Amino acid sequence: MASRIAMVTGASTGIGFDTAIALSAAGFTVYAGARRVEKMEPLKRHGITVMSLDVTSEESMGSAVALVEAAHGHIDVLVNNAGYGSYGSLEEVPLAEGRRQFEVNVMGLARMTQLVIPGMRAAGSGRIINVTSIGGKIYEPLGAWYHGTKFAVEGMSDALRLELKPHGIDVVIIEPSGTNSEWGTIAGESLLATSGDGPYQRQAHVVAAALASTSGEGHVLSTPARIVANTIVRAATAKRPRTRYPVGRGAWSVLMMRRILPDRAFDAVFWNFYSRLAG
């Protein structure tokens, strides 16, 4: 049986990096893309093809998908993982940065999906796996732009699941909690740079400390990226995948709490929890 073809975006670190390795180990022919190509060099030892991929560039995305389809006809699995977190008060974050956040996290994902759908539709099969976050269901102060993108991807994915079902294409959402990657540290640093001084500084320092608690080994909310990667492989290989896969420490309990608590009660519980994390 011919190897199935998988393409992973945002594969230079963390979830994307480990997902490329896990998919390769599961028997997929894997193409891994990111802007920082040098960070993906170790992936080559696993037989993975690495490529330059910028999800804000039409030329870059089109060329990457065309290269894979020219070699294999179509892509069986697309893992839309590229994204970042831009934190800061809505008042202080420049609109240009807000637009960039949506360009990377939403529009890039949407365009990559547009590019692979025709081949999948012609083949009568395919799977699109969108990595959102528990942040697509919950919220944090000073994270309006980031959570806005993740809520958007959740809604887009639900609509897309219905419209692609008649064509044999599955759409799956992965909802990780914090992972032991550099994501939380980078997000916290950008938050402090934007709102660390001024009217939001107290909240900024609490939230930045909480974000940092999700980065690195051994932290209270830190989940190894390979755990998320293994969940993505399950979603890619299941005969009938679930629509959503919450994964990571605290993911199920936080989402359940959000489901059952009124908004203001959740506000209070979440803020008190973040305050404890910050010390």
Three-state SS string across 18-74, please? HHHHHHHHCCCEEEEEECCHHHHHHHHHHCCEEEECCCCCHHHHHHHHHHHHHHHCC
Q: pTM here?
A: 0.93
Q: Is the pLDDT of residue 3 over 70?
A: yes
- pLDDT score recorded for residue 73: 93
- pLDDT score recorded for residue 207: 87
Catalytic pick from 139, 146, 245, 274?
146
Q: Is the pLDDT of residue 277 over 70?
A: no
- pLDDT score recorded for residue 231: 98
Closest CA to 177 of 129, 231, 107, 128: 231
- pLDDT score recorded for residue 33: 98
Closest CA to 119 of 157, 161, 66, 160: 66
Q: CA-CA distance, 133 to 143, in Å (whole number)?
A: 13
Q: Is the pLDDT of residue 16 over 60?
A: yes
Question: What mean pLDDT is predicted for residues 175-186?
Answer: 78
Q: Looking at 155-159, 167-171, 204-208, which range is the least confident one?
A: 204-208
Q: Looking at 65-74, 260-269, 270-279, which range is the least confident one?
A: 270-279
Question: What mean pLDDT is predicted for residues 218-226?
Answer: 72
Q: Looking at 34-43, 101-110, 187-196, 238-247, which range is the least confident one?
A: 187-196
For residue 233, what pLDDT band results from cuts at 50, 70 and 90?
Answer: very high
Residue 274 annotated among the catalytic residues of the structure: no
Backbone region of residue 239 per phi and psi (left: phi > 0; alpha: psi in -120 to 50; beta: other values): alpha
Question: What mean pLDDT is predicted for residues 179-198?
Answer: 83
- pLDDT score recorded for residue 31: 98
CATH of 5-182+223-256, one of 3.40.50.720, 3.10.20.30, 3.40.50.12780, 3.40.190.10: 3.40.50.720
Question: What mean pLDDT is predicted for residues 117-146?
Answer: 95
Give CA 261 to chain center in angstroms: 26
For residue 272, what pLDDT band results from cuts at 50, 70 and 90?
Answer: confident
Q: Is the pLDDT of residue 149 over 80?
A: yes
Closest CA to 90 of 199, 177, 188, 175: 199
Closest CA to 105 of 144, 42, 148: 148
